[in-house]
Amino acid sequence: MHSTEANDRDRAVSGQQESRLGLIRALVVEDHPLMAAAIDHALSSQEGIEVVGTCRTAEEAVASINSLRPDVVVLDLRLGRQSQPADQTAKRLLEAVPSTRVVVYSAYVTRALMWRLGRISIFGYVSKGEPPETLVEAVVIASQGHTFYSSEARALAQVEQTERDEGTATITPRETEVIQLIAEGHTNPEIGRRLSISVSAVIKLAGQASRNLGATNRQTLALRAVRAGLVIIDEQGLRF
């Protein structure tokens, strides 16, 4: 009887053989069962794509990617309120299996997210407002080593890049990270630990961002950042 490690090795070898035969092996990371089933159906219905697993948390995804060795991971942006940001999850997946191509699939698209995901080697971003065929196309293109962004994400990414090239963006990437954590309800010491900076640096960054956005307190800062598309959170989900 094979051990767990032996079974994992067998699955990895099988996956490598299937990849050589041209079959795209996809791993779905989505915490909502109905959405996960819909993604599974959309991909599995396409000839040449096999969904090798479905995960609901980042931890499950990291464990599964090591054993399943998928060609493409379809990653939901928000895996529950306690989950880490999608860019951190994607980074962990790519560190585990660098050859895997990550395609983010989410209802939330912001300029800040485009910047954050652009810092790591993801191969696509598809809005959940797009038809299922668009996700299928993204998976196929990513498996071929090319990037794919749906129209909404592509437009935001272009605006973000243009503003940074022209030097007109007033909120820095680090300020955006601080605002994101403020909107999620973290205290200054917690933000400092998350970003590996001092509390005084957090206060300074928040102050600079507040002046740029015309905010007078943390609540207004977070709300204005959400409405400007700088951070990723529902207005109803703001926590203070």
Rounded distance, CA 156 to CA 158, Å? 5
pLDDT tops 80 at residue 48: yes
Distance CA 83, CA 159 (A): 28
Per-residue model confidence (pLDDT) at position 112: 63
Distance CA 23, CA 171 (A): 44
Mean of per-residue pLDDT scores for the chain: 80
In order of start, what are the domains of the chain with their CATH numbers? 4-161 (3.40.50.2300), 173-237 (1.10.10.10)
- pLDDT band per the 50, 70, 90 thresholds, residue 80: low
Least confident of 47-51, 77-81, 186-190, 208-212: 77-81
pLDDT computed for residue 77 by the predictor: 78
Q: What percent of the chain has pLDDT over 70?
A: 74
- Region 1-25: what's the mean pLDDT? 54
pLDDT greater at residue 63 or residue 22: 63
Is 74's pLDDT higher than 60? yes
The pTM score is 0.62
pLDDT of 174-232, one tens digit each?
A: 888 899 899 888 999 999 999 999 999 999 999 998 888 888 888 888 888 877 767 76
| Phi and psi torsions of 48, nearest 5° | 100, 0
Q: Is 128 helix (H, G, I), strand (E, B) or coil?
A: coil
User: Are 56 and 83 contacting, i.e. CB atoms less than 8 angstroms apart?
Assistant: no
- In the DSSP assignment, the letter for residue 82 is T
pLDDT tens sequence across 120-174: 778 988 988 888 999 999 999 999 999 898 877 776 666 555 554 443 357 888 8
Q: How far apart are CA 85 and CA 210, in angstroms?
A: 23
Give the list of residues 6+ apart from residue 218 with CB closer than 8 angstroms, or none. 182, 206, 240
